[in-house]
């Protein structure tokens, strides 16, 4: 990050340039990545324009709100205490005092369907039994204490022994209790995937994050940060970009879906990777194909607003594979982020996991709600009559899916992307799923635009 900070503001726009209408940099997408890039460039005197397809900033940072004022995070859930660049940004905007701790216990269902509650490692050790405890100890030593080190929020290093193997393959030595109470819930919670679909690299990264950081949220919702950022730069909403425009192989603008073109010296694509692929012209060949085929996990989340609090100790609820349920994880937002739900009534969200989450795309909202309601009865017996309202939030490209081999592919992509002129990429998909990666990728893209790459 030192290099980026040094580069910033060395290329201030000259005063005599101020009257020019030419745009230095167009940023496609008003998520955390794009807005960070745009705000960084504006501070350095660049003339920037953010083009956003929807009518709001924030992208996957989104909050769901009820008429009574209660709300819950429906996208990015938690800010970890080691999000250094994001925390520095909050500080700069005078928003650090809006951080609130977010914590609580986790409830597991055991083989018989009975609840088991864990407030920390010692509780978990009791739940997994004697063999599970040994497995947990070995897992901990190998992948936490003696794990190979790598940057948590920037994909810069390939570690083939972590990248080329799925979590299920790598941990196949473990017994049933470890798999049921540790590995599977970890994969659901950290990656919204099953262990056979997620690379070990991602699990090692997630474990480190979980064990070394505290989780927080912003008093007005995490999207309030992107709203703040969006107020500092020009953003055109309802502006869906159709394609980048090139002249002699150099990107020098974009075309909007309505057919208008806008010229700029640099374009930063900060929409999800798959959409970035669609916006590239055929001359980008294999890079266009890599991005277009990029694997994302779709998530349809169901939010149940209840007429009362639920009398449970935990804020997170993990199912058990014997249930064969679509929704194997639930959160009680009135416990997790009580500062967002002043009425105290419970807001319960139901979470599916890849690959079954794909099946929900074809279903109606009514069918999805009914499935979630049935599945969550195991966590909250008899809760159905308490439901005042149910809503579905669809994230068609919720999080990047780091399947085995994905780090290598992303590193190859980044190397090739360095060669493109007039074009940079930002967004979490190229590093890790975390908001912190969005901030860092935005800063990197801004530094590249300032270099005149
Ligand atoms: C359910 C869920 C839970 C999560 N939990 C966490 C968490 O606990 N902690 C954490 O750090 N992260 C979490 N994340 C991840 C985090 O929210 C995202 O990684 C991050 O917000 C993505 O930011 P981004 O700028 O890369 O992309 P986005 O937020 O997706 O922004 C891209 C923007 O581009 C726009 N766009 C797309 N196509 C076009 C086009 N053609 N023209 C113009 N604009 C376009 C989109 O509308 C969008 O606004 C979670 C995500 C989800 C979905």
- On whether both 389 and 346 belong to a single domain, the answer is yes
Domain assignment present for 8: yes
What confidence category does residue 15 fall into, taking pLDDT thresholds of 50, 70 and 90? very low
- Supply the CATH number for residue 312's domain: 3.90.660.50
User: CA 157 to CA 371: how far, in whole Å?
Assistant: 41
Q: How far is the CA of 107 from the centre of ligand 1 (A)?
A: 28
- On whether both 339 and 278 belong to a single domain, the answer is no
pLDDT digits (tens, 9 = 90+) for 142-173: 999 999 999 999 999 999 999 999 999 999 99
- On whether both 413 and 271 belong to a single domain, the answer is yes
Domain assignment present for 78: no
- On whether both 235 and 206 belong to a single domain, the answer is no
Token pair 């993990």: residue: 318
CA Rg value for the chain: 22
- On whether both 312 and 383 belong to a single domain, the answer is yes
What confidence category does residue 219 fall into, taking pLDDT thresholds of 50, 70 and 90? very high
Domain assignment present for 73: no
- Residue whose Cα lies nearest atom 19 of ligand 1: it is 433
What confidence category does residue 314 fall into, taking pLDDT thresholds of 50, 70 and 90? very high
* Across 317-343, average pLDDT: 94
- On whether both 378 and 252 belong to a single domain, the answer is no
Sign of CA dihedral 389, 384, 183, 78: positive
pLDDT digits (tens, 9 = 90+) for 420-437: 999 999 999 999 999 999
- On whether both 160 and 117 belong to a single domain, the answer is yes
- Of 379, 400, 421, at which residue does a domain stop? 400
pLDDT digits (tens, 9 = 90+) for 44-94: 999 999 999 999 999 999 999 999 999 999 999 999 999 999 999 999 999
Domain count of the fold of the chain: 2
Domain assignment present for 72: no
**pLDDT attached to residue 143:** 97
User: CA 335 to CA 344: how far, in whole Å?
Assistant: 9
pLDDT digits (tens, 9 = 90+) for 106-120: 999 988 889 999 988
What confidence category does residue 277 fall into, taking pLDDT thresholds of 50, 70 and 90? very high
Range of the domain at 14: 2-61+84-97+221-293+403-452
**pLDDT attached to residue 6:** 39
Residue 341 CB less than 6 A away from ligand 1: no
- On whether both 190 and 225 belong to a single domain, the answer is no
Q: Which of 26, 29, 89 to mutate to test the pocket of ligand 1 (most atoms within 8 A of CB)?
A: 29
Q: How far is the CA of 217 from the centre of ligand 1 (A)?
A: 16
The verdict on whether omega for the bond into residue 76 sits within 30 degrees of 0, i.e. cis, is no
Answer yes or no: are the C-beta atoms of 4 and 444 closer than 8 Å: yes
pLDDT digits (tens, 9 = 90+) for 26-41: 999 999 999 999 999 9
- Supply the CATH number for residue 407's domain: 3.50.50.60
User: CA 11 to CA 28: how far, in whole Å?
Assistant: 22
């Amino acid at each position: 990050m030192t290099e980026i900070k040094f580069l910033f503001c060395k290329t201030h726009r000259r005063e005599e340039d101020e009257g020019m209408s030419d745009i230095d940099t167009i940023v496609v997408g008003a998520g955390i990545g794009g807005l960070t890039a745009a705000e960084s460039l504006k501070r350095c005197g660049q003339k920037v324009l953010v083009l956003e397809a929807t009518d709001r900033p924030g992208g996957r940072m989104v909050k769901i709100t009820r008429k009574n004022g209660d709300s819950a995070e429906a996208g990015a859930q938690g800010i970890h205490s080691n999000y250094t660049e994001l925390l520095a940004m909050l500080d700069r905007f005078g928003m650090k005092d809006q951080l609130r701790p977010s914590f609580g216990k986790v409830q597991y269902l055991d083989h018989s369907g009975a609840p088991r509650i864990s407030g920390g490692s010692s509780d978990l050790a009791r739940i997994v039994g004697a063999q599970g405890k040994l497995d947990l100890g070995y897992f901990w030593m190998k992948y936490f204490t003696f794990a190979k080190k790598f940057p948590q929020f920037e994909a810069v290093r390939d570690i083939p022994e972590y990248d080329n193997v799925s979590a299920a393959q790598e941990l196949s030595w473990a017994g049933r209790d470890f798999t049921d109470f540790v590995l599977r819930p970890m994969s659901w919670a950290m990656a919204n995937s099953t262990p056979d679909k997620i690379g070990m690299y991602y699990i090692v990264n997630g474990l480190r994050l979980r064990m070394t950081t505290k989780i927080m949220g912003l008093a007005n919702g995490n999207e309030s940060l992107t709203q703040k950022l969006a107020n500092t730069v020009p953003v055109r909403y309802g502006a869906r970009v159709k394609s980048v425009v090139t002249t002699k192989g150099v990107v020098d603008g974009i075309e909007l879906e309505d057919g208008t073109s806008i010229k700029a010296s640099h374009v930063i694509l900060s929409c999800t990777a798959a959409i970035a692929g669609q916006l590239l012209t055929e001359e980008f060949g294999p890079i266009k194909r890599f991005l277009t085929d990029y694997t994302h996990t779709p998530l349809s989340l169901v939010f149940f607003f209840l007429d009362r609090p639920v009398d449970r100790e935990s804020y997170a609820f993990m199912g058990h594979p014997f249930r064969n349920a679509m929704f194997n994880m639930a959160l009680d937002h009135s416990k997790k982020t009580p500062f967002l739900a002043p009425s105290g009534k419970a807001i319960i969200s139901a979470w599916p996991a890849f690959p079954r989450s794909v099946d929900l795309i074809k279903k109606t909202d009514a069918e999805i709600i009914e499935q979630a309601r049935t599945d969550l009865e195991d966590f909250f017996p008899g809760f159905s009559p308490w439901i005042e309202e149910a809503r579905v939030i669809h994230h068609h490209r919720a999080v990047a899916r780091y399947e085995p081999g994905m780090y290598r592919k992303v590193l190859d992509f980044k190397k090739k992307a360095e060669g493109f002129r007039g074009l940079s990429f930002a967004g979490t998909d190229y590093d890790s799923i975390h908001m912190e990666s969005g901030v860092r990728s935005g800063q990197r893209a801004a530094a590249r635009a300032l270099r005149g790459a």
